[in-house]
Structure 1
């Protein structure tokens, strides 16, 4: 899991938790999530020090999370701050509201981006004690 961590990013903790949830679900549940979401998200997250880290959530083929740019190409790229991603993951901020207020930018399939909220909340529910 440590290969997902990037120092100075709250997002890396959340992504690590998300990866744990993905690994703990059954193959059948993973296939259902992949079928439901059918997309690759690339997260381009910047922190307060203006550093940028990239993670990919593959919910099209593998149902996994990894550090680095999407391979193959992402269906949607989300560009946001570390703080905004943490608020989205905790349910304190709605994705649409973040987009409308300019806190979240997208490249690619914007409608797919709306499915990230559902993915994060379902992972939070499955994670139980996970701090998503």
Structure 2
């Protein structure tokens, strides 16, 4: 099942996360570091909303949610473009939050773990 969503620039990052979680060592590291279910709800340029779920509590999986966002330990709400910047390391989650571009529902401490997840599961070669 594809985790990509047409019209969302962030889709490749979710595919990268999902493929990274197929590696058992990376999966264990991500679960140990986060211990939470993170729901990421994004809004694209057209105003369409979509949610993705990163189960980094038990399953060590990432998938696209059908319909309404499911309940998790923490939910991040932001624009698709801001998520892309965050995933690329070009934006700071704390600054996005302080500027009102990132909204967090649930455990704020678990929300801070998302940046380390991207670093852990980044399958791109390190230069």
TM over 0.5: yes
TM-score normalised according to structure 2 size: 0.90
- Runs of 5+ in structure 2 lacking a partner? none
Residues 48-101 of structure 1 deviation map (CA, whole Å, 9 limit, x = unaligned): 00000110001001111011034xx30000000000000000000011111011
- Runs of 5+ in structure 1 lacking a partner? none
Alignment match, 2:28: 31
Is it true that 1:48 corresponds to 2:45 in the alignment? yes
Q: CA RMSD in A?
A: 1.6
- Pairing of 1:91-106 with structure 2 (within 5 A): 91-106=89-104
Aligned length: 123
The answer to whether the 8 Å contact 2:40/2:77 transfers is yes
TM-score normalised according to structure 1 size: 0.87
- The structure 1 residue matched to 2:112, chosen from 114, 126, 132, is 114
1:91 & 1:32 partners in 2: Cα distance? 20
Alignment match, 1:11: 10
Higher helix proportion, which one? 1
1:33 & 1:117 partners in 2: Cα distance? 11
Cα drift, residue 32 of structure 1: 3.1
Cα drift, residue 33 of structure 1: 2.2
